Structure 1
């Protein structure tokens, strides 16, 4: 009899503990969901991110990094698929390094940090899918893509995110170092490398205001405006990358420059100017 009562007592205590844990867990999840919530809002040619964040005594970078690592274990693209072993990877002929190990030059790393900063539209030090979406909305809001092109652009942006960084989720962030590592592996994987920047033609079409099939310096300024850069930088960059001096860039030239920026470590290549001035750190 005493033994039975003891068992009932233990079960009652255990049940209360489980209920308490469930309540605490649910509260924690709700608090985390309140912490990060954002959406894209566009008004004419201006797009911005409405964000509601409670940053009290929280290091967002560390918090997001921990959440991302934990989340990717269960929902993101498996690490063994995203991180190809060097023995299984292939490199294309337009990569002017051996593309093995993490021995890329500081010049290349500086370029990748520059792009990370551009894609980090809300400037919180992390790239999220919301940043990707906002980036595409800036170009679409110019109004030069037709309805079908705009839909394709959005679909490709979404697919690129999923293939490179996994599930679309508010907890899935990409830090600067993660971006450097991921881009290194993308360039080592022949399939991913070909797909990684397939959205470049849509950037060209979005700023080709007169639909001539060429971008003038004036239209290139639209491109830099969407990158969050000023006209002065656009004029300087265009003067450098317009190597034949005809005052215009074709779609082929534009895409080649955009891709070359990611693949080359040659500091003499004019493509280093494509995404604007390189950041210092």
Structure 2
């Protein structure tokens, strides 16, 4: 099953957000650079346990989300490979279970203080590191915080990210996951 144009647009936006080098190719180094920028924004020293947590989490994002799209084994993922991987994923019978588990892994990377919830600052660090403005991050947070309690729970986060990649609903709050389209 091919992705609709709407889902391709969202998938492309997500891909491009992680392409820190802006070369049209995702590699583990993009995720290492994101981790470095997150740590820097938070004032976390290299070699500290917090820095190691951030680095490990972003490495896990590469390993869990993007490396499986590398069908030719060259340790690089181009947009076409990622779109095909998303198509295969959506067709799999246990997509929601796998997706929710993977999304919780990204959640753990963003829950920088390990509090069990993501606040607006943490979400802003995540989005601004991958190219969104502070204002856009604030608007995105307000959409993703579906229960409007000022925090994003693991379940809220996982469901919104899953819906971002699978929902055809043009009015879904999940469409704001990576900022405005």
TM-score by length of 2: 0.76
Give the 5 Å matches for 1:120-199: 120-139=19-38, 142=42, 143=44, 145=50, 147=52, 150-151=55-56, 154-155=59-60, 157-158=62-63, 160-166=65-71, 169=74, 172-190=75-93, 194-195=97-98, 198-199=101-102
Check whether the contact 2:144–2:157 (CA below 8 A) recurs between aligned residues. Answer: no
Gaps of 5+ in 1: 1-100
Q: 2-side partners of 1:232 and 1:198: how far apart?
A: 29
Aligned to 1:109: 8
Q: CA deviation at 1:234?
A: 0.8
Q: 1-side partners of 2:6 and 2:114: how far apart?
A: 35
Deviations 1:30-77 (A, max 9, x none): xxxxxxxxxxxxxxxxxxxxxxxxxxxxxxxxxxxxxxxxxxxxxxxx
Gaps of 5+ in 2: none
Deviations 1:219-261 (A, max 9, x none): 2211212222111001111122223221111122112111211
Q: Which secondary structure does the structure 2 equivalent of 1:212 belong to? A: coil
Q: 2-side partners of 1:209 and 1:155: how far apart?
A: 15
Q: 2-side partners of 1:156 and 1:208: how far apart?
A: 14
Deviations 1:114-144 (A, max 9, x none): 0111121100122233324434444455448
Distance 1:162 1:192, change over 3 A: farther
RMSD, aligned CA: 3.0
Check whether the contact 2:139–2:179 (CA below 8 A) recurs between aligned residues. Answer: no
Give the 5 Å matches for 1:84-95: none
More helix by share: 2
Q: 2-side partners of 1:161 and 1:273: how far apart?
A: 21
Say which structure, 1 or 2, has more relative contact order (CA 8 Å, 6+ apart): 2
Does residue 248 in structure 1 map to residue 151 in structure 2?
Answer: yes
Q: 2-side partners of 1:150 and 1:245: how far apart?
A: 30
Distance 1:269 1:189, change over 3 A: same
Check whether the contact 1:107–1:265 (CA below 8 A) recurs between aligned residues. Answer: yes
TM-score by length of 1: 0.52
Aligned to 1:223: 126
Distance 1:267 1:122, change over 3 A: same
Which structure is larger by alpha-carbon Rg, 1 or 2?
Answer: 1
